[in-house]
Structure formats: C-alpha cells, structure tokens
Amino acid sequence: MMTLLVGMVLALAVGMLCRWLDIPSPAPPSPIGALLVVAMTVGYVLAGVWS
C-alpha cells in the first residue's frame, strides 16, 4: 500500500513540475491515451497485490 501511495505522490509531483516549468507533459494528450495509462497502472498494481 505504501508503494501505491509513493507512486501517486511522485506522479502528481512530476505533473506539477511539468506544468510550472512549461515542460511538455510525459502523458498522452488525448483522453483515450490517458485512460490507457490508467488502465495499465491499475493492472500492474492489481497484479502485484494478487501475486
């Protein structure tokens, strides 16, 4: 559970830094692409919990 929390905080920090420094975000620009990233992340986390 701690790993999930650290990952979420790190992701938010990277997103905020990209916004503040006007660096292009490393995330896909479309909602479908963003949902794909979320789906892969959720799948990775669930596989780690179940294994």
pLDDT value at position 37?
Answer: 81
Stated pTM of the model: 0.52
What is the residue extent of each domain of the chain? 2-50
Residue by residue, DSSP assigns the chain as -HHHHHHHHHHHHHHHHHHHTTPPPSS-SSHHHHHHHHHHHHHHHHHHHH-
Which pLDDT band holds residue 49 (cuts at 50, 70, 90)? confident
Q: Which residue pairs from 9-17 have beta carbons closer than 8 angstroms and sit at least 24 positions apart in sequence? A: none
How far is 39 from 11, CA to CA, in rounded Å? 15
**Which tens digit of pLDDT belongs to each residue from 2-48?**
877 887 888 888 877 877 888 887 667 788 878 888 888 888 888 88
Rounded to whole angstroms, the Cα distance separating 10 from 4 reads 10
